[in-house]
Amino acid sequence: MREKYLLHCPGCGRLFPDRYTLDCPSGCDALLRTVYRERRLILQDLPGIFRYASWLPVEGRLRIDAGPVSYTSVGLARELGLPDLTITFSGYWPERGGRMETCSFKELEAQPTVLRLREKGAGVLQISSAGNTGRAFCQASALTGAPVVVVVPASAADRLWTTVPSPNVCLVTVDGDYSDSIAFGREVCSLPGIVPEGGAKNVARRDGMGTVMLDGTLFAGRLPDAYFQAVGSGTGAIAAWEAAERLVADGRFGTRLPTLHLSQNLPFVPMVRAWEAGRREIVPEGDMPEAEASIARVSAGVLTNRHPPWGVRGGVYDALAASGGRMYAISNDDARSAGRLFTETEEIDLDPAAAVAVASLIRAVEEGLIGPDEHILLNVTGGGYERAAEDLDRYPVEPYLRVRANEAFAGNVRDDIVSWLTKQGAAIRA
Ligand SMILES: *Cc1c(COP(=O)(O)O)cnc(C)c1O
Ligand SMILES: [Zn+2]
């Protein structure tokens, strides 16, 4: 194989070159995967995520130094009686080298996605998000000049800020919930030149998030026995599984896949329920009853995806099954006290979602599901907001357009986006 990587469909087995392809050309219901020419991970002498560029679906690099950072826990490890606990932190924590200034691991997805589109596709990325993903893409746009259209519920607009100005972001706020934003975002993608980010289908997103597993493993010199993460879509968990499979094939880090320990926030726990019932399908009535009301009650809003890639071939269900995984339902109270314990013992504040993962680790210890002889990797998916607020400038992203829920994508609304696109085109050509 001459190319650095090809895309592979686990449904039909086709292997083909990447054109920012999100779906199998034969229409299989399966997540495409990257296959890299280098079976052994060759580290690049670059800062941040591009250290792992040989296993990212990009040819070049961005001049951004943010990436995951791993270290051996002392405080939390002692508290839990786990002598072999590696923490991989994505967020802002300069003392440990954490330079994700929007404070979540969504930056691991945004960087390679922006670059992949520039290299393998063309156009302007569209992202629908309830918070962290949108902020990460605004920041990637601010740092690279890549134009992006971000659609969010109006109630989430104040979560969109960057640490440098972001003149190439078109922010649309929708007076409705996350599902309304997704629906409007889909309409926007009907315009020529606008490309959907793709969510779990986007291999750059998954391989970017997979660098957490790479970093934790390289740091410890071996694959972990157990991997802990809080999940909303579960894309990060699929990514961890895929990265672990590559590390097994590499041959230097062990032969066994880590057990995935994945957590959601009560009362919205559809994947926990489907897993406990042994089902490949999420059944809305049983697995997420009164979804709207439940979503309103969780402390970690980023964990409330109603359409996770659960049953699709190569999705979260397969990832759990392949590793003999477990799922945990965590209450707000348990998440809050776990967050407090983490801050006391490790001295950094957490994203509420990361606190859910810490609570699941505490539960696993209490229930004897993991032991002191096991090597644990805890994926701290976000944190350092308080540190970032002290150190960094914060630029709110101002809405370019406000629309009602179910507003037709026509007339002035459409014209406004077209005129933004035209200006972007002119600015890019100039
Ligand atoms: C998005 C997010 C998650 C969940 O990740 P998924 O890949 O959607 O499962 C967990 N923690 C934080 C901080 C996040 O932003
Ligand atoms: Zn296929």
SS3 for 26? Answer: coil
88 alpha carbon to ligand 1 midpoint, in Å?
14
322 and 415: one domain?
A: no
Residue whose CB lies within 8 A of the most ligand 1 atoms, among 231, 242, 316, 317, for a mutation test: 231
Tell me, what's the pLDDT at 405?
Answer: 85
Within a domain: 64: no
Instruction: For residue 400, give both structure tokens.
Output: 């370019």
Q: Determine the residue type at 261.
A: H
The answer to the question of residue 405 being in a domain is yes
Is ligand 1 within 6 A of the CB of residue 232? Answer: yes
For residues 400 and 381, state if they share a domain: no
Measured from the alpha carbon of residue 104, the closest ligand is 1
Predicted confidence band at 177 (pLDDT cuts at 50, 70, 90)?
A: confident
User: Hey, whose CA ends up nearest to atom 2 of ligand 1?
Assistant: 302
Same domain, 265 and 357: yes
Number of domains composing the chain: 3
Q: Residues, the chain, total?
A: 430
Q: Is the CB of 235 under 6 A from ligand 1?
A: yes
Q: Does 168 lie in the same domain as 137?
A: yes
pLDDT-derived band at 179 (thresholds 50, 70, 90) equals confident
Among 104, 127, 265, name the best residue to mutate to test ligand 1's pocket (greatest count of ligand atoms within 8 A of Cβ).
Answer: 104
Q: Could you report the per-residue pLDDT of 210-269, keeping only the tens digit for each? A: 999 999 999 999 999 999 999 999 999 999 999 999 999 999 999 999 999 999 999 999
- Mean pLDDT, rounded, of the chain: 95
Tell whether 198 and 209 lie within a shared domain.
Answer: no
Residues 76 and 47 in one domain: no
- Supply the CATH number for residue 138's domain: 3.40.50.1100
Residue 382 clears pLDDT 90, i.e. is over it = yes
Separation between Cα atoms, residue 256 and residue 261, nearest integer Å: 15
For the stretch 333-350, pLDDT in tens is 999 999 999 999 999 999
Read off the pLDDT of each residue in 268-295 and give the average, rounded to a whole number. Answer: 96
Pair 243, 196 in one domain:
no
Domain hosting residue 323, numbered range: 69-101+204-388
Q: Which ligand is nearest to the CA of 314?
A: 2
Q: How far is the CA of 42 from the centre of ligand 1 (A)?
A: 27
User: Mapping DSSP to helix (H, G, I), strand (E, B) and coil, where does residue 404 land?
Assistant: strand
> Which pTM was predicted?
0.97
Q: Does any ligand 1 atom lie closer than 6 A to the CB of residue 339?
A: no
379 Cα to the center of ligand 2, angstroms: 31
Query: What is the average per-residue pLDDT within 197-216?
Result: 97
pLDDT, average across residues 81-107: 97
Asked if residue 235 and residue 186 are part of one domain, the reply reads no
Check whether residue 21 and residue 146 sit in a common domain.
Answer: no
Amino acid occupying residue 355: A
What is the reported pLDDT for 428? 58
- Are 134 and 157 in contact by the 8 Å Cβ rule? The answer is no
**Closest CA relative to residue 133, chosen from 181, 199, 180, 184:** 199
Nearest-CA residue for atom 1 of ligand 1: 302
Report how far ligand 2's centroid is from the alpha carbon of 243 (Å).
21
Q: Which residues contact 275 (CB under 8 A, 6 or more apart)?
A: 317, 320, 327
Quote the ligand 1 centre to 252 CA distance (angstroms).
Answer: 29
Residues 47, 122: one domain? no
Q: How many helices (H) and strands (E) does the chain have?
A: 15, 18
298 lines ligand 1 (CB under 6 A): no
CB of 351 sitting under 6 A from ligand 1: yes
d(CA 268, CA 353): 13
What is the CB neighbour count within 10 angstroms for residue 231? 27
Per-residue confidence band for 121, with pLDDT thresholds at 50, 70 and 90: confident
